[in-house]
Every structure is written in C-alpha cells, then in structure tokens.
Amino acid sequence: MDKRTLETVVYVVSVISWIASGLIHFPQLGWSIYSDIVSFWYRPESGELLKTGAAPCFQFFFEYPPASCLSIFVSALLGSGDLVRYYQAFFYLSLPAYIAIAWSIIQISRISGSGWLGLVFIASPSLIVYGIYNFDHFAAAAAGLGVVFLLRKRYFISGLIAGFGFAIKLYTALLLPIALLETRGRDRIVYLLAYTLAAAPLYVLQEALNPNMLARFIEYHSGWGLENAWYIWIFQDQFSPTAKMLGTLLGAFLVIQVSFARGPILPRMLLAVSSWLVMSYIFTPQMVIWLLPFLPAVSRVALPFWPSLEISNVAIILTWFGDYNPVMPPSPPQIMALIRAASLAIIILSVYRNTFKKGQRSEGP
C-alpha cells in the first residue's frame, strides 16, 4: 500500500470514528452510552438555560473554559430547544476536529520518521468512546495543529492555534514551556504574542459579561476530589488534601523537568502531557485523547503498551455504572484506572529511556 493510500485510510478511519462516536452517545437510544454533552441538557443548573438561548460561561457558571462553552452555546442555538438537534449540531461541529487530528497524526508521522506505524494511533478506541462525549477532541486537534505549525516554523499561526486550544481546555499550557524554550528571540515573542491574542479575549469577555467566572472556575476544580488517580489506592480518601497537593506538585515537577530536558521536542511534549496525566488528581478517561497527536513520534516504543492503555481506559466508562462507588477502590473502574496508569507509566519510562538515554538529537521546530 503506497503512502497516499495509507493517508487516505487515516482520514477514512477518523470519519468512521466520528460517526461511531456520534452513534454510541446518541440521546434517546436504549443502548447509548453516557455523554457529558447530553448530560448538560438535563442538568438543572444548565439545561433550561441552554434551551432558552443563554450562553454558558458568559451568562451563567459552567465549569469549562470559554471556547468549550461557545461550542455548547452554538449547538444549543442550532438545536432550537430540541435535545436531538442540539446533539446533532455538536456532532457536526466535531467533524473538523477529527479531520484535524488525522492530519496532525499524518504530519507528525512524517516529521518523526515513524512512517506507517505512526498512523495506527488514529484507530484509538478512546477517540470513539470519548469523542462526542466532551471537548477533548477539540483540544487535541488544536494541540496537534499547533505543534505541526511550530515544527514548520510558522510561529504566529502555531501560537494562535495553541492559544485557542487553551481556551478550549487548559491542556496546551503543558506544551507552552517547551514551545518557548524551542524558539529564540523574535520567534519566541511572536509565538507568545499569538498565543495570548488567541486565548485572552475569550477569557476577558467571559469575565466582563459574567464577573468572577474565572474565580469560580478555579474554586470549582480545586474543590473536586480524586477522579481515577492511581494513588487513591494509597490514600483511600477521595478528598484527601495531601493526595491532591502531592499529585499536583509532582506532576508540575515532572512537566518542568521534561521541559528543560535536552532532547527531541515531540517526545518531550508527549512526556509532559503523560507525566501530568499520570500524576493529576483528575484523570478523566477522555483526557487520553490528548496523547494522540504525539504518540506517532514514539510509535515503536509506545505501541506495545498502547493497547492496554486504550482497553483499560475504555473499560472505565463501561464499568462505571454498577452497584458500587465507582470513584473508590476496589471498584472495577478504579481497577481499570490503575491498569491504565501502569500502562502510561511504562510508556513514559520507555520513551524516556529510548529517547533521552540514547542522546538523540532534537529535530527542533
């Protein structure tokens, strides 16, 4: 199979994943799987407001960054008060993100030299099960596009895309230190300026229209308990302040260490994201989608352990609704989360050993 045919297959698989994800979460079907997007319609604090055309984040509190809120607002407006039309609107808005993830996987496979092996990651079960589920496919698309343009030295475009990604999920902030360290002089200023120009206006507008929204956002997430963090098996307390503090500090330490490490930019970005996720006290299963743009760069090292990461991650939602407390061990979801953490930790160690220990030179942006 030639290169062009393989790349066409990647796009076809991404569209199939998009359709499959839309179908398995489609509301009002007896076999549909839970989706955050659908749940927003039923929440007492958001459902009625969405039906009347109010904008989450900008007119009432919503626990996501402003660009994610806009996607829900647009979907609700297009839905005209009907759940199915609202869901369908979000579904169609998601297609460009799936295409962008496919494109970034293709480009990063080329840049890293992983070839056809790097293309395998488009067949991610998590992209199906957790795609039309939350906003992480949008964030992964922004990260992938931003990194590709960074490697092509299109710093302004890269910064704009990554900055907009920060307004979708805070995830691209994990990549910002590496991007700034890999640029120099004027290029660094251009990248940071573009990042700020894309991210700041939505946050400023949100705060102007809905004062204290940002403070409430921080308070909400800082008060959230451990969710699928492996160390809940040690602390046995979902709201342990010690566990939350240690997880956050260790995660930040690892991100800083990776950012300043000497080595290829793409593996460093994968390690930054992976290290944060494996130590974060909130590791929702849809966050695994964040890894997809970077896995092709380390395909030969990561691929042996990727199936266990994906299978355990998908199993979290499939085992979540049972006659037990799903956030506490030894429930099946927490067993799956523990397996997932172990799989990701092995990937982290393998990438570190094969990338930095061998002293490979950075391909640079």
Burial class (CB in 10 A: 0-12, 13-18, 19+), 1: exposed
User: Would you place residue 115 in the very low, low, confident or very high pLDDT band (cuts 50, 70, 90)?
Assistant: confident
- The mean-pLDDT minimum among 17-31, 90-104, 189-203 falls in 17-31
Q: What is the pLDDT of residue 363?
A: 40
Give the integer Cα–Cα distance in Å for 171 and 284: 13
DSSP 90-120: HHHHHHHHHHHHHHHHHHHHHHHT-GGGGGG
- Average pLDDT, whole number, for the chain? 94
pLDDT, tens only, 242-279: 999 999 999 999 999 999 998 899 999 999 999 999 99
Cβ–Cβ under 8 Å, residues 104 and 147: yes
Q: What is the pLDDT of residue 361?
A: 41
Cβ–Cβ under 8 Å, residues 130 and 101: no
Report the percentage of the chain scoring pLDDT > 70.
97
Q: What is the mean pLDDT of residues 330-348?
A: 98
- Count the neighbouring beta carbons within 10 Å of the beta carbon of residue 264: 19
The strand pairing partners of 282, in sequence order, are 227
Q: What is the mean pLDDT of residues 235-242?
A: 96
Cβ–Cβ under 8 Å, residues 124 and 134: no
Q: Which of 98, 117, 106 has the alpha carbon at shortest distance from 302?
A: 117
User: Would you place residue 30 in the very low, low, confident or very high pLDDT band (cuts 50, 70, 90)?
Assistant: confident
The yes-or-no verdict on residue 365 having pLDDT over 80 is no
Q: What is the mean pLDDT of residues 290-295?
A: 97
Packing angle, helices 265-279 and 241-260, rounded to 10:
170
Q: What is the mean pLDDT of residues 220-224?
A: 94
The yes-or-no verdict on residue 130 having pLDDT over 50 is yes
User: Is the dihedral angle over the CA atoms 233, 238, 241, 247 positive or is it negative?
Assistant: positive
The yes-or-no verdict on residue 292 having pLDDT over 70 is yes
Q: What share of the chain is helix, strand, coil (3-state, %, to 5)?
A: 70, 0, 30
- Count the neighbouring beta carbons within 10 Å of the beta carbon of residue 211: 10
Cβ–Cβ under 8 Å, residues 285 and 343: no
Domain regions of the chain by residue span: 3-355
User: Is the dihedral angle over the CA atoms 191, 162, 64, 49 positive or is it negative?
Assistant: positive
Q: What is the mean pLDDT of residues 216-235?
A: 96
Cβ–Cβ under 8 Å, residues 39 and 46: no
**Which tokens go with 122?**
């488009």
pLDDT, tens only, 53-62: 999 999 999 9
pLDDT, tens only, 297-320: 999 999 999 999 999 999 999 999
